[in-house]
Amino acid sequence: MTKKEQLAVFGYLTNEMKKTLFSKGDDYANEDRLSNFKLAGAISGGNASINCLNMISTKVARLGNLLNKDGDPNNESIDDSVLDLANYAVLLYMIINENK
């Protein structure tokens, strides 16, 4: 893949990440867009960053299963899972840096 092709893919993916992150956030969160990570962390005896890291770990495990499976997934595509993983990384960055 050439640098030009990589730039095109990167531009496409970051646009898709933005659309997905903010549309899902409308469904999943209140005014504090990180509230679910904070609440889930508190429920499990941890914190928002550890909860988000757990979500990343779960997504990586699911991706591993999808990539090792024969045939296409029935529900969430590999591309969707990769997009979610990238967004979880962005959310983790936001959680870590929220109070700096």
**Which pTM was predicted?**
0.89
Cα distance between the two ends of the chain: 38
pLDDT in tens, 22-31: 998 888 888 8
Segment holding 18, helix H or strand E: helix 3-28
pLDDT at 91: 96
User: Domain locations in the chain?
Assistant: 3-97
Residue at 5: amino acid letter: E
DSSP state, residue 31: S
User: Which residues lie closer than 8 Å to 36 by C-beta, 6 or more apart?
Assistant: 28, 29
